[in-house]
């Protein structure tokens, strides 16, 4: 498994992260098998969030993790907070008290004494950065969280946090895939009137590269906002024809090529996969060790419906 180094301490992490949003339909035995299969493949990084099945995913994962002595020390554990699924309506909360409470509750559910990484899940319009800084200080000082980051934030939002937060913001989790390529579109279409030139994210890709922030790409096989997968989807016949041809040339699955396409970008991203099917994960993982040529990368990009100026 390809590794990259992130943060000021150059912490080694795998290029592929196991997302745990969909494990709520699994048994403890199945989650245990998933964890150990991932580890065997070199996928030792696991991503959670309190809102995944209303905390049940963390609880289930913790039960499986506690079955094997020493297993916790073999993995990297990450969770996020801030999205509250309330019966009266979803809202966001990045207050000091809520962040601290969420982390403490997550530690109990995950049956561990620390989180390797903790992220704010979505920008909270009512966020007071001084409160976030106080929460991060508290959690870091007591040893509950070792590293920090954000999710779905633009450069200005990160700069606002950095004004107050002492800890390095090492990660920004963002949607990016062959069919959600806005982060690279605006760079390719500079000085044009094409739709791809529209700046919707304040050029977060270049910002993260300049500031050594690792981008974790979520939904690598989805199009739209959770509208469905593009692989083997007849709606994207031309794209799949190109991906499948390249997959055959590399003797891997089409999903491995979708991962390789993201990892080919020089920003040194991680890819978060959400599959819980161990056989499929075995087909996805080889993508981390494939380096597409420039020609292959651009063939896929154009086949996805993008124009080159």
> Does 204 have pLDDT greater than 90?
yes
For range 26-52, the mean pLDDT: 97
Inter-residue contact 176 to 272 (CB < 8 Å): no
List the beta bridge partners of residue 112: none
pLDDT for 213 equals: 98
Three-class DSSP category at 83:
strand
pLDDT for 114 equals: 98
Tokens at 66, concatenated:
């506690």
Its pTM stands at: 0.96
Alpha carbon distance 47, 67 (integer Å): 19
**Which of 3.50.40.10, 3.30.450.30, 3.20.20.100, 3.80.10.10 is the CATH number of 8-236+267-290?**
3.20.20.100
Extended strands (E) in the chain: 3-6, 11-14, 16-19, 45-47, 76-81, 83-84, 91-92, 115-120, 145-151, 169-175, 214-218, 222-223, 228-229, 270-273
Q: Using alpha carbons, select from 246, 261, 247, 267 the residue that is nearest to residue 291.
A: 261
Task: Provide the pLDDT confidence category of residue 224 given band limits of 50, 70 and 90.
Answer: confident
pLDDT for 227 equals: 84
Tokens at 173, concatenated:
């989790």
């Amino acid at each position: 498994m390809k590794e990259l180094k992130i943060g000021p301490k150059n912490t080694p992490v795998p290029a592929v992260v196991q997302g745990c949003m969909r494990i709520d339909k699994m048994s403890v035995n199945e989650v245990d098998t998933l964890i150990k299969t991932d580890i065997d493949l070199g996928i030792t990084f696991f991503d959670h969030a309190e809102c995944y099945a209303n905390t049940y995913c963390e609880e289930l994962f913790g039960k499986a993790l506690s079955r094997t002595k020493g297993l916790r020390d073999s993995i990297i554990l990450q969770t996020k907070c801030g999205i509250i699924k309330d019966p009266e309506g979803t809202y966001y909360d990045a207050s000091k008290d809520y962040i601290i409470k969420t982390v403490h509750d997550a530690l109990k559910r995950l049956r561990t004494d620390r989180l390797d990484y903790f992220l704010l899940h979505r920008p909270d319009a009512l966020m007071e950065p001084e409160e976030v800084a106080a929460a991060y200080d508290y959690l870091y000082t007591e040893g509950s969280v070792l590293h920090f980051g954000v999710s779905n934030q633009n450069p200005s939002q990160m700069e606002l946090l950095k004004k107050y937060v002492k800890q390095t913001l090492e990660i920004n989790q963002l949607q990016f895939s062959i069919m959600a390529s806005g982060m690279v579109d605006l760079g390719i279409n500079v000085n044009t009137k094409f739709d791809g030139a529209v700046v919707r994210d304040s050029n977060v890709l270049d910002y993260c590269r300049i500031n050594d922030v690792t981008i974790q790409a979520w939904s690598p096989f989805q199009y739209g906002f959770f509208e469905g997968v593009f692989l083997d989807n007849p709606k994207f016949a031309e794209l799949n024809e190109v991906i499948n041809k390249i997959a055959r040339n590399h003797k891997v699955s089409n999903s491995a090529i979708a991962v390789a396409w993201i990892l080919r970008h020089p920003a040194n991203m991680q890819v978060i996969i959400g599959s819980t099917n161990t056989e499929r994960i075995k087909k996805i993982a080889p993508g981390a060790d494939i380096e597409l040529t420039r020609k292959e990368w651009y063939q896929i990009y154009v086949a996805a419906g993008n124009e080159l100026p």
